[in-house]
Structure 1
């Protein structure tokens, strides 16, 4: 097991534990959860699919340590990141009689982590929570850093708060239950970490570590640890995304617009949107003369080799003006002015503000938008 510390000036430090068997071994993950509790009771929030696979082991392990666990489930899928399901989770907290000394445990992927984290931040003006991410995407990205949110029809993650977890348990073994598509989607966020600030890591992902995209446990373990270290360093410097943390959104300005335009349809997962968005960000950077065409081609080749989309037509048909309007409503936009995370090269991302919409429109038309 490897422990990665996450600390910053504005929040209490916590650990991200990465290893195999953390969930099933009562002396591992459940013991660490029990040690943090002020009283022996938790509410586990999960989705219906994950709950059937992993909740029994976690509940049993907690019971070994004298902890009573109740379970609240939501339907699997992005649609659960909504006001309606947030209200249901909050009502379940009240029904279970949780008070400020109790803990919420998010058991699931990014949707569950975001939803449960936001519920924890709101319930009684804030209770502690623990992340137990069960997807690769959640282990390397959404479970670390305290971002919690729900979606609205006008955009992804528009309603949320920063609420840091007390602990993150990233069990590599649970990734064996992931469908191949979901594993590849998580790999997109791993690739992104190399692209923003670690060219050597990206080279490893495209070479010796490439087997992680297909489920190789050793490669996955190393990829998760290295990704979490990168994210922990960035979050520690900039918790509220006032500066450097925005780099973690490489690929997301394009990707979120695509997801919203599709209505969060499962035709494009979040990870697939990020992968495509990263490729588009590098091609746009090359078009603007910020990086070499060869860098954009290299990013596209490694992404395609991992089984992820690299071209707009793979996601669907889009109107350029619609995508630009959605980008103008992105959280990084200021006064409607377009902001992108672009690249000077692999491992050298930067925030670029005030991007000309005409340049974006010309690029999208060249990419195949109408």
Structure 2
């Protein structure tokens, strides 16, 4: 098992990566189980796979799980869902000193974390991420949010978990497409700040996606170490360091918006294609070599992820895609910073990007590929 500390000013928590963690959840999370019952907010599919395992561990320790099921999909990150969940937690008598457990992917983690951030002005929560994307990204770092009609993740709070248990056994229950979508976030850490890791993934990515134990644990742990370091440096995304984690997201969120935040394009797929577009746009500006841009494209394509806009069958132009970016939460004084590349492993924040130029670039991409 790998144990990765997330070190923040005045407080610290652990991310544990390994197998058998949910089967021992009562032991792993013992300090956060102070009553004879615990509230667990669970993705319906995750509970179907892991509910009995968790209940068995808790039951052996004399603790009763109280379940709240959440339907899979981004539709559950809504005002209505948040209201229903907070009302239920209040009805269960959750106190400020309690910890609510979140079992599932990023949707459940975001929704539960936000509910815990506002419940009685803040109670604790423990992340039990069951998707690769959640394990290496959304469960670590304290960003919680819901979606609104104006866009994705525009209402939320920074609220750090008390513990993250990334049980690699859970990844064996994922559909292949969802696993590949999570791998996009793994690849992102190499592209944005760790060229040796990117090169390692070029040779071992297939083994990671095949869930071979040693490469899988190494990839997940390396990704979490990278995120923990950035979060510790810039917890609330004020210095620019944490913004680098948004590599691929500005383009990706625009594509997600154009596809209606639906199963036409999973979040990780949007990030993967967004990284390709960020690399190509960086090359177009003369900041990145064409060879590095092509390597990013090949790595995304080799993982079975979309590497061309044409794969989405969109009926729009570059201006429409760029317009979606106007709702990006990174907008600052009317301008939108972009995460671009100088080299693989060297991302930077560009504040001089004109959306009209991005629109023209996207028109070229829509027509050329």
Which TM-score tier does this pair reach, normalised by the shorter chain? over 0.9
Closer/same/farther in 2, CA of residues 168 and 17 from structure 1, 3 Å limit? same
Aligned pair in 2 of structure 1 residues 37, 369: CA closer, same or farther (>3 Å)?
A: farther
- Report the 3-state secondary structure (helix = DSSP H, G, I; strand = E; otherwise coil) of the residue aligned with 1:337: coil
* Map of 1:4 onto structure 2: 4
1:158 paired to 2:154: yes
Larger mean CA deviation between 127-136 and 259-268 belongs to: 259-268
Aligned to 2:366: 368
Which residue does the alignment assign to 2:81?
85
Aligned pairs for 1:3-152 within 5 A: 3-9=3-9, 12-24=11-23, 26=24, 29-152=25-148
**CA separation in 1, counterparts of 2:94 and 2:340?**
44
C-alpha distance in structure 1 between counterparts of 2:61 and 2:29, whole Å: 10
TM-score of the aligned structures, taking structure 1 as reference length = 0.96
**1:229 counterpart = 2:225:** yes
Distance 2:214 2:40 in 1: 29
Post-superposition offset of 1:51:
1.1
> 2: CA distance between counterparts of 1:284 and 1:79?
31
Q: Which moved more, 1:156-165 or 1:42-51?
A: 42-51
Report the Cα offset of residue 209 of structure 1. Answer: 4.0
Across the two proteins, how many residue pairs are aligned to each other? 366
For residues 60 and 165 of structure 1, the distance between their equivalents in structure 2, rounded to whole angstroms, comes to: 23
**Aligned match for 1:244, one of 233, 241, 245:** 241
- For 1:157 and 1:217, locate their aligned partners in 2 and report how far apart those are by CA, in whole Å: 33
Using the alignment, how far apart are the partners of 1:215 and 1:336 within structure 2?
Answer: 44
**Aligned 8 A contact 1:18 1:225 in 2:** yes
1:369/1:41 CA distance change after superposition, 3 Å = farther
CA deviation profile, 1:84-118 (whole Å, cap 9, x unmatched): 11111111101212121221100000110000100
Give the deviation of 1:214 after TM superposition: 2.8
Change (3 A) 1:190 1:15: same
| Secondary structure in structure 2 of the residue aligned to 1:42 | strand
- Distance of 2:7 and 2:45 partners within structure 1: 32
Query: Residues 32 and 99 of structure 2 are in contact (CA less than 8 Å); yes or no, is this contact kept in structure 1?
Result: no
User: 1:319, CA displacement in angstroms?
Assistant: 2.8
Q: Alpha-carbon deviation of 1:73?
A: 0.7
Q: Which moved more, 1:207-216 or 1:92-101?
A: 207-216
Aligned partners of 2:207 and 2:191: how far apart in 1? 18
| Number of the residue aligned with 2:327 | 329
1:39: how far off?
A: 3.0
Secondary structure of 2:358's counterpart equals helix
Correspondence 1:273 to 2:270 = yes
Secondary structure of 2:68's match? Answer: strand
Deviation at 1:62, TM superposition (A): 1.5
Deviation larger for 254-263 or 34-43: 34-43
Q: CA RMSD in A?
A: 1.4
The answer as to whether partners of 1:62 and 1:68 remain within 8 angstroms in 2 is yes
Q: TM-score, normalised by structure 2?
A: 0.96
